[in-house]
Structure 1
Amino acid sequence: MSLDSIPHSGRTGLDELVPSRYAVKVGDIDVMVISDGVLPITAVTMATNVAPAELSAWLKDMYLPPEVLDWPLNVAVVRSGGKTILIDSGLGTEFPGFPRAGQLAMRLDAAGIDPGSMTDVVLTHLHMDHIGGLLVDGLRGRLRADLRVHLATAEAEFWEAPDFSRTVMPAPIPEVLRSTATQFLDVYRGQLRPFETEHEVAPGVLIRRTGGHTPGHSIVRVESRGDALTFAGDAVFQPGFENPDWQNGFEHDPEESARVRVRLLTELADSGEQLVATHLPFPSVCRVAVAGGAFRFVPTVWDY
């Protein structure tokens, strides 16, 4: 089959053969998961507190490469109570070493979502792959002047003088994270709406600080008419179901991150609610089951 034979809608540059958005209905609330692309990450970053042989065995079992992985980047757009809310914004395009990430602006257009229609942004935390999209000229200039940006007070305070002493990252990354967070806070400080523990952004859309990954790391729970979905940000990574105690190199408090992960996965397994997370394979919509002393990723059947 020739790719040239596949029909297109005529919208130049917007159609893609690989799906990059997935719509979910949560009661009366519309949720759309959007892929910002993928970025390469060294495999050892996925489990910094286990023996190399143990990590290698897991990677082999998952049919993942042993050295460098493609790390998915997922964001979400939520519509509730007359508000359109962007949850995280991906990497942006300021990092030439990651050419397959930073797709948000293009994919919002492809989904028919005008950036100017967004009333609120919720940020799970201020790592560059969650805030970079809002710094891109092609997107930033199209946002409304009264856009509200919600994040935990503890997160904004942490990035005034961030501590990387417990992380395990490649040498250039901490400084890039620091400078990007500083730039973001400088640009958006007047639009920040910080909260302490939790805050209802729109009817049925609640952001709650968990800490762990960063001091102000937060998750977003969407609930309507008995249905619910949680956007977990970086509280859960791909190995975290079977191995919730494995520490990720980007976690600023690895032990607390593991505790947060276990609590969240236990809650979701008990409730049967849906889960979406930034770095799970797109569209990442799944449920959680208990498996012995750990958990199991249960993918949701796509609804066409």
Structure 2
Amino acid sequence: MADISRRDLTLGAVGAYAALGHENSITFVDAAHAQQLASPPFRNYKVGDIEIFSLIDGMRDVPLRDGMVKNVGVDRVQTVLRSAGFPDGQAPLRFIVMALKLRDQIVLIDAGTGGHPIYGEGNGRLFESMAAAGLDPKAVKTILVSHLHGDHIYGLMNNETNAQVFPDAEIVVPAAELKWWTRPGVETLDLGPSRKGLALRIQATVATWKNVRTFEGEPELLPGVHAVQVPGHSPGMVAHLVTSGSKQFLISADVVNFSPHISANPEWQLAIDQDPQMAADTRKKIFDRAVADRLTISGTHWLMPNVGTLSRDGNGYVFAIES
């Protein structure tokens, strides 16, 4: 696993939140995208015998800022956003939680924002979306965590008391992530407004809970579900590869966390990534694997519907939405 320096981490995180404008209030989705809010808050797919759900936890547009993409000017970013149908000066921010239906149990891939106020109003809709999809939170027996950023784990804990939301579920966490967030001095780093206090909260919750299991490498975490190391956005982030029969579905976490460059601009280096160059390298590696292995692929912050396939197109890729 790569060792991300204190300097790189701090510059990446601070630059990201300045670029995204998280020190200001985040606006609701523009009216042009209101139909997404009105549509069902989930999509479901079949992978062999496994049913997979994309569950909306929150939707926003955030102010577009110079520096959001480190190696591309803001005018180019604006052009891509405009061609995707977004209003000038706004960038899409989506929060999606994936769920697997395995026989009599529900497995969550991450747990969303938990409605934490740092992510603005309207987030924390996971239980609402689960209800719409016919999924009972009490049936959640396992939660597979991709990485320990707040928008992926705050749904595990009560905002006021830190009490567990899923006390009867096993929580499976990459060891490299937990080690990084509990190492001495990490709580003193300035990681930007939305990660303020994150290390201390992890140390008081996930690091102490008896129902947390850590792992190294790329093991099979559950029957048919393997971890795939995808460093860059965070030190120990993993994706989850779901296999049933001849079908494979890659839940890629934050390999891409800025929707308009899912396929056409994989080389963009995002300030939100802790190591932007490593994240770009990982992105292209994962995309090439998705093409070569004919994977169905999705991601946490992709626009809904967030499931499809990739094919090569010169130096980029074409993303085809799965119906």
Matches for 1:58-207 after TM superposition, within 5 Å: 58-80=80-102, 82-95=104-117, 98-136=120-158, 143-145=166-168, 147-161=169-183, 162=186, 171-186=192-207, 189-207=209-227
Please give the secondary structure, in 1, of the residue aligned with 2:280: helix
Q: CA deviation at 1:46?
A: 4.6
Which is further off, 222-231 or 96-105?
96-105
Contact 2:112 2:153 (C-alpha < 8 Å) held by counterparts: yes
Matches for 1:213-292 after TM superposition, within 5 Å: 213-237=233-257, 238=259, 239-292=261-314
TM-score (norm 2): 0.79
Unpaired runs of 5+ residues, structure 2, are 1-36
Instruction: Letter of the 1:136 partner, please give it.
Output: N
Assess, with a 3 A threshold, how the Cα gap between structure 1 residues 300 and 87 changes in structure 2: closer, same or farther: same
Contact 2:175 2:216 (C-alpha < 8 Å) held by counterparts: yes
Question: Partner of 2:231 in structure 1?
Answer: 211
- Deviation by residue 1:256-294 (Cα, 9 ceiling, x = unmatched): 111110010011112222111001112301111111111
Instruction: Letter of the 1:143 partner, please give it.
Output: F
- Deviation by residue 1:200-242 (Cα, 9 ceiling, x = unmatched): 2222111222211111111001111101111000002321411
- Deviation by residue 1:53-76 (Cα, 9 ceiling, x = unmatched): 222222222222333333111111
Question: Partner of 1:7 in structure 2?
Answer: none
Unpaired runs of 5+ residues, structure 1, are 1-15
- Deviation by residue 1:95-118 (Cα, 9 ceiling, x = unmatched): 165112110122223323222211
Q: Distance in 2 between matches of 1:176 and 1:48?
A: 26
Q: Does 1:43 align with 2:60?
A: no
Q: CA deviation at 1:40?
A: 4.1
Q: Does 1:31 align with 2:41?
A: no
Question: Partner of 2:3 in structure 1?
Answer: none
- Deviation by residue 1:21-61 (Cα, 9 ceiling, x = unmatched): 11111001111111112144343465232122222222222
Contact 2:155 2:165 (C-alpha < 8 Å) held by counterparts: no
Which is further off, 190-199 or 63-72?
63-72
Please give the secondary structure, in 2, of the residue aligned with 1:189: coil
TM-score (norm 1): 0.83
- Deviation by residue 1:140-171 (Cα, 9 ceiling, x = unmatched): 666343x2111111000111244998x9x7x4
Instruction: Letter of the 2:166 partner, please give it.
Output: L
Question: Partner of 1:10 in structure 2?
Answer: none
Question: Partner of 1:8 in structure 2?
Answer: none
Please give the secondary structure, in 1, of the residue aligned with 2:107: strand
Assess, with a 3 A threshold, how the Cα gap between structure 1 residues 103 and 136 changes in structure 2: closer, same or farther: farther
CA RMSD of aligned residues (A): 2.7
Instruction: Letter of the 1:175 partner, please give it.
Output: K
Instruction: Letter of the 1:213 partner, please give it.
Output: H
Q: Distance in 2 between matches of 1:232 and 1:192?
A: 21
Contact 2:262 2:302 (C-alpha < 8 Å) held by counterparts: no
Residue identity over aligned pairs, in percent, reads 25
Instruction: Letter of the 1:225 partner, please give it.
Output: G
